[in-house]
Amino acid sequence: MPIYEYACGACGHELEELQKMSDAPLTTCPACGKEELQKLISAAGFRLKGSGWYETDFKTKKAETPKKSSDTPCATGACSACVTD
C-alpha cells in the first residue's frame, strides 16, 4: 500500500496517508479544515541510476609482422627482392 503525501495549500500543513490506489484522495486538511489538500507526487522509488556504458571488449591489435622465411634474394636480379635491395 503506497503512502501518499499531502500538502495543504491554505496553511501549508503536510501529512502522509497510507491509502490504497483505489482510495479517493484526501481533500480536507486536518489542520485548518479547508479543502485545500493536494497530493504530492514524490519521485521516491523511481530512481534510474545511469550506469555508464563501458566497453570492455578491447581488441588488442595484432600487428601482423610478416616473417621472411628466407632473406636471400634469388640472385638473378630480376625479381622484386633483388631490385629493391
Residue 81 near residue 73 (C-beta atoms within 8 A):
yes
Residue 27 near residue 53 (C-beta atoms within 8 A):
no
Q: Of the two residues 14 and 23, which places its CB atom closer to Zn ion in the complex?
A: 14
How far is CA 76 from each of CA 8, 58, 68, 72, 82, rounded to the nearest angstrom? 102, 47, 19, 11, 7
Shortest separation between residue 16's beta carbon and Zn ion, angstroms = 15
- In the complex, the residues that contact Zn ion under the rule CB under 5 A are 8, 10-11, 13, 29, 31-32
Shortest separation between residue 33's beta carbon and Zn ion, angstroms = 7
Shortest separation between residue 39's beta carbon and Zn ion, angstroms = 14
Q: Of the two residues 2 and 30, which places its CB atom closer to Zn ion in the complex?
A: 30
CB count within 10 Å of CB 44 equals 8
Q: Of the two residues 7 and 81, which places its CB atom closer to Zn ion in the complex?
A: 7
